[in-house]
Amino acid sequence: MGIQNLIITIEREYGSGGRIVGKKLGEELGMNFYDDDLMRIASEKSAVGEQYFRLADEKAQKSPFLWFSRGRAVDLTVPSPDDDLTSPENLFRFQAQVIHELAEQQPCIFVGRAAGYILDQFEDVEKLVRVFVYSDFVTRVQRVIEVDCIDEEKAKKRIRKIENDRKGYYRYYTDSDWYNMQNYDLTINTTRFDLNQTAELIKSYCRQRGYLE
């Protein structure tokens, strides 16, 4: 299957099934799939402890100022040894470097971490498909109850917290709204689609763009 240079990024509401769809696509298309293993790779390449990346992973930071736009996106320049290497901005830069390097090496799928925004900044990433997966709240609550094995109230709280973190993270580092559909090439509502159908929709879109045979 012709997937040379194809990169798929997936932002997802918690409980929408976006991560599972990404993993499924990776298996079906023979593409490398990256989620939280990006933190391990970024740690190895930067020599910064993995725990720092995990503490900052897709979270709005503790300072209330980091919940809002900085007025500009974080630049993606390589951090200097003179910088505070464990600052949230530098951790984002290190991870952005890793995402770009992996995208240069092979077709792959990235979940979260503003990967679509990051790769859109580089002119050498030609076959980029940025996906946003969402679902209605009732459906997401039910999925989280089933997958995380928790009760309804805990599921609702978990969804709200994680989505607030993801929105804050995206806003701070990209100076854009996570829910701005102009940031994506394809948006899919999984309320009435199962995850197999969702994966097929993404593949169909890639074929329409000429990225898959």
CB 184 within 8 A of CB 131: yes
CATH homologous superfamily of domain 6-202? P-loop containing nucleotide triphosphate hydrolases (3.40.50.300)
Q: What is the pTM of this model?
A: 0.91
How high is the pLDDT of residue 65?
Answer: 46
How high is the pLDDT of residue 79?
Answer: 76
Mean pLDDT on 83-109: 91
Listed by start position, the domains of the chain span 6-202
Q: Which is more confidently placed, 109 or 4? A: 109
Rounded distance, CA 62 to CA 49, Å? 19
Please list, in sequence order, all residues whose beta carbon lies within 8 angstroms of the beta carbon of residue 188, skipping any fewer than 6 positions away.
Answer: 131, 132, 133, 134, 198, 201, 202
